[in-house]
Amino acid sequence: MKILVARDYQHMSRLGACVVTAVLKGKPNLVLGLATGATPLGLYRELVKLYQEGRLDFSRVTTFNLDEYYGLSSSDPHSYHYYMEENFFRHINIRRENIHLPPGQPGDVAAACAAYEAAIAAAGGIDLQILGIGRNGHIGFNEPGAALNARTHLIDLAPETILANARFFASIDAVPRQAISMGMGSIMKARRILLLASGRDKAAAVAAALEGPVTTMVPASLLQLHPGVTVVLDRAAAEKLHSVVKGGGTWPACC
């Protein structure tokens, strides 16, 4: 696992964009796994900027998002479909047919989850998966639990996740109680993983994930078992790590 500690959120976003750029330059038909939440917004801004400057081409890229709230339509401003469109897709030259997110309102949940896994496999698997981390150590919407689902599935959100995500809704009551998420097995099959975290309120989850025991009670700790993980943190999110030289690490060549 390679851990980079950036000065601040903007620097974290730029380093994340460098990692994506390097992988995309090496494989123009990249299969890219995407995350939502506040954390990757800066990364998407950087990638859009690089595209607008003519330095990135998404015309052959295929994307798969980690998750979507269950029950929300894709036009709902709180949906991850909407988020991705607003913050990334409509600004770049990605082909519509290459964009994939779990459906928020599937008729048949099991069939939709199986179809999502099949689409990932048909695309050749995910080359690079971008991840954020929840305050309870979740990734995607894989909440802490005695056992974790391996594949895309419907999940009940943990109370702390509902509380954390209430900031994006009018009230806590408006936050969906369920989501469809890639499973830990889907995520761990990605060839490379880029985990981003920013802010002091993520420091405990980051330390538990990177330096604590590998346990389903901290889903992100499973990443310790993956051979191709790059973690980019800002200083505040790295605060509780013992093994990392803050401000150290080897920067990607483009930074």
Nearer to ligand GLP, 158 or 254 (CB): 158
The three-state secondary structure class of 189 is coil
> Which one of 46, 67, 117, 127 is the catalytic residue?
67
Q: Which of 25, 38, 121, 172 binds ligand GLP (CB under 6 A)?
A: 38
Q: Is 149 a catalytic residue?
A: no
Name the minimum Å distance from CB 197 to ligand GLP.
8
Q: State the pairing for strand pair 153-156/178-181.
A: antiparallel
Segment lying near ligand GLP (by CB under 6 A), choices 31-39, 87-95, 207-215, 216-224: 31-39
What's the min distance (Å) between Cβ of 65 and ligand GLP? 9
67 is catalytic: yes
Work out which of 13, 79, 152, 165 binds ligand GLP, going by CB under 6 A.
Answer: 165
35 binds ligand GLP (CB under 6 A): yes
Q: Closest separation between CB of residue 164 and ligand GLP, Å?
A: 7
Are 41 and 11 in contact, with CB atoms under 8 Å apart? Answer: no
Only one residue has tokens 């310790």, namely 224
For the record, the structure tokens of 135 come out as 């305050």
Nearest distance from C-beta of residue 225 to ligand GLP, angstroms: 19
Question: Which residues, numbered 194-223, are part of the site for ligand GLP (CB under 6 A)?
Answer: none
Looking up tokens 């997110």 gives 101
Residue from 16, 33, 37, 176 in contact with ligand GLP (CB under 6 A): 37
Q: How far is the CB of 162 from ligand GLP (least distance, A)?
A: 9
Q: Assign 46 to helix, strand or coil.
A: helix
**Complex with ligand GLP: residue 140 or 252, whichever CB lies closer:** 140
Q: Is 141 in the site for ligand GLP (CB under 6 A)?
A: yes
28-62 per-residue burial string, b: 16 or more CB within 10 A, e: under 16: eebbbbbbbbebbebbbbbbbebbeeeebebeebb
Instruction: Give, as ranges, the residues between 56 and 115 that touch ligand GLP (CB under 6 A).
Output: 66-67
d(CA 45, CA 13): 8
How crowded is residue 243: how many other Cβ atoms within 10 Å of its Cβ?
8
Among 126, 133, 175, 222, binds ligand GLP (CB under 6 A): 133
Pick the stretch among 33-41, 120-128, 142-150, 208-216 that binds ligand GLP (CB under 6 A): 33-41
3-state secondary structure of 133: coil
Cα Rg of the chain (Å, integer): 17
H-assigned helices in the chain: 9-26, 41-52, 80-87, 109-122, 159-165, 184-188, 203-211
Query: Which residues contact ligand GLP by CB under 6 A?
Result: 35-39, 66-67, 132-134, 140-141, 161, 165
**Catalytic positions, please?**
67, 136, 138, 143
